[in-house]
Amino acid sequence: MIGLRGIHKTYGKTTALDGLELDVREGEFFCLLGPSGAGKTTTLKTVAGLERPDSGTVLLDGKDMAGVEPYDRGVAMCFESYALYPHRSAYDNLASPLRSPRHRLPAAEARERIGAIAELLGISGLLDRRVGQLSNGQRQRIALGRVLVRPARAFLLDEPLSHLDAKLRQQMRAELKAIGAVQHTTTLYVTHDSVEALALGDRIGVIRDGRIVQTGTREEIWYRPCDTEVARAFGRPRINLLPGVVTDDGGFRTADGKVELPLTAKAQPGTDVLVGLRPRDIVLGGAAGHELTGTVYVTEVLGRGVEVTVRLGEQQVSLVAPRGDTTGLGPDDPVRLTVRPENLLLFEADRPGRPGRLIGTR
Ligand SMILES: Nc1ncnc2c1ncn2[C@@H]1O[C@H](COP(=O)(O)OP(=O)(O)OP(=O)(O)O)[C@@H](O)[C@H]1O
């Protein structure tokens, strides 16, 4: 539905988009995830027609959008900086897109639409207030409402929940996908928050330095991250990445030999590698899987679980265990850990400016 082909965009000496390729399918909720400056906003503006690419093609429903003005593209974009009318009421701000000749709706129908969206976004009580008097979080919800009230063939949402407090953000995240308009409309949603991307995205595209480095479902991105940087972006506590080498029989060993894993790496013996172990995949004790032995370094309560950092020779790993399993555990206590072979990820070692790519095992 939305297709970006080889998009380049520079601002002076800064390259914002560097041959970006992206496909968002009809009706899909697609999350574009990346750090600040990766090119997320520029991508949205390019789709909306607010920025013209230096080269490359923007397709909407298969049609080349070159020369098509933003208001003729039929997409609705919500900016992180709200672009609202501060002196007008929240209701007027929501209603104004429906008054444009393009979307004009009968007054009763407009009222009904606005009422329904306001209800879902929890802003019904604010409709008579002037936007200038509202908090940032309230304004952000009005801005989101302003986008969702109007019929569009795609919604482009730029960090629409970023100014909400944690509790409200979590609640809105859950509700956003239940909104009928969102369910039925292709949505390209920008965020730098991997939890949000995992929660919302039917598919996720990871953007870095103006390029998409990986696209996939949350399972694909979680279980087969294309490189160490994508692996680090998802999951808290962060994935453990243990440096070592591929042994003669294709296994893994750390430099001090304190960690040995019988893998069958698809790499030459002697290759510098990183083994990725997610903290929730390492089990204290446990019966099945590869064994690791070490000593407790530190424990920290994380709400429902306990994060235990374990020294394995010169290296250390973090794991998250149910609180009951860590009772009485203290610094320097010996522990045995297990990790199931299918939960091991193997990467090339990182090089300056180039995160190690997933190697895989046989
Ligand atoms: N109008 C502009 N003039 C000059 N440089 C710009 C302009 N817009 C974006 N850039 C630069 O292009 C790059 C990509 O910016 P963009 O806003 O798309 O990133 P982003 O991923 O949305 O980041 P953030 O999460 O911080 O908004 C950045 O280096 C940014 O400084």
Classify residue 361: in a domain, yes or no.
no
Indicate if ligand 1 lies below 6 Å from the C-beta of 16.
Answer: yes
Residue 227, pLDDT > 90, answer yes
pLDDT in tens, 140-178: 899 999 999 888 899 999 998 888 888 888 888 888 888
Q: Where among 231, 266, 284 does a domain terminate?
A: 231
CB-CB neighbours of 300 under 10 Å: 12
Tell me, yes or no, whether 107 and 129 share the same domain. yes
Indicate if ligand 1 lies below 6 Å from the C-beta of 41.
Answer: yes
- Residue to substitute in 11, 31, 77 for testing ligand 1 pocket (most ligand atoms within 8 angstroms of CB): 11
Q: Where among 174, 206, 231 does a domain terminate?
A: 231
Tell me, yes or no, whether 9 and 151 share the same domain. yes
Indicate if ligand 1 lies below 6 Å from the C-beta of 46.
Answer: no
Indicate if ligand 1 lies below 6 Å from the C-beta of 65.
Answer: no
Total count of domains within the chain: 2
3-state secondary structure (DSSP) of residue 173: helix
CATH label of the domain that carries residue 254: 2.40.50.140
Residue 302, pLDDT > 90, answer no
Mean per-residue pLDDT for 16-23?
A: 98
Distance CA(205)–CA(207), nearest Å, equals 6
**Which residue is closest in CA terms to ligand 1's atom 6?**
11
Q: What is the structure's pLDDT at 81?
A: 64
CATH label of the domain that carries residue 139: 3.40.50.300
| Total-model pTM | 0.91
What ipTM was predicted for this assembly? 0.96
Question: How much is the mean pLDDT over the chain?
Answer: 92
Residue 311, pLDDT > 90, answer yes
Tell me, yes or no, whether 200 and 244 share the same domain. no
Indicate if ligand 1 lies below 6 Å from the C-beta of 327.
Answer: no
Tell me, yes or no, whether 217 and 265 share the same domain. no
Write the CA distances from 289 to 177, 262, 274, 283, 285, integer angstroms. 38, 11, 19, 9, 10
Q: Where among 199, 231, 263 does a domain terminate?
A: 231
Classify residue 61: in a domain, yes or no.
yes
Mean per-residue pLDDT for 9-28?
A: 97
Q: What is the structure's pLDDT at 71?
A: 84
- Residue to substitute in 9, 40, 47 for testing ligand 1 pocket (most ligand atoms within 8 angstroms of CB): 40
Residue pair 107/99 in contact by the 8 Å Cβ criterion: no
E strands along the chain, which residues?
A: 2-11, 14-24, 29-33, 55-60, 63-64, 75-78, 154-158, 186-191, 203-208, 211-216, 240-246, 252-253, 260-261, 272-277, 282-284, 290-302, 305-312, 315-322, 334-339, 345-348
Indicate if ligand 1 lies below 6 Å from the C-beta of 42.
Answer: yes
Domain membership of residue 109 as a residue range: 2-231
Of the candidate ranges 62-71, 99-108, 148-157, 247-256, the one whose mean pLDDT is the lowest: 99-108
